[in-house]
Amino acid sequence: MALNILVVDDSKVVRSVIKKTLDIAGVDVGNIFEAGDGKEALEILDKEWIDLVFADINMPVMTGLEMVDRMKEDGILQTIPVVIVSTEGSETRIEELKAKGVRAYIRKPFTPETIKKVVDEIMEGK
């Protein structure tokens, strides 16, 4: 099943790297949408069918954490799995994210194998 994926990061380069890594990893992608911050992401989530979100934590306008909080308030959006991709990664922060419903955490830099493993684990459980 081809997945519609939303990549949320304030760095266009990082968004491109994630898109390329999904391709190299062999993830069956339908459409990839991009957002530069959590606010843009929520606007896309309102309009498009998204199966999986990859998001950074630290972004201007609205952080990844604020985006996750807003998604939790929405009956439909709260069912969309979110994977945080960030350089920030203390155990405390990861536990906080998982408590908020984040499904996985990937530390930058990452490999295609890591991306593939996380996508497979999340989509198997869906």
pLDDT tens figures, 32-49: 999 999 999 999 999 999
Q: What is the dihedral of CA 115, 93, 42, 39, to 10 degrees?
A: -120
Q: What is the pTM of this model?
A: 0.95
Rounded Cα distance, 88 and 90, in Å: 7
Domains identified in the chain and CATH numbers: 3-124 (3.40.50.2300)
Matching residue, tokens 């898109």: 19
73-107: pLDDT as tens digits: 998 999 999 999 998 878 888 888 899 999 999 99
- State the DSSP string of 44-88: HHHHS--SEEEE-S--SSS-HHHHHHHHHTSTTGGGS-EEEEES-
**Percent of the chain residues past pLDDT 70, beyond the cut:** 98
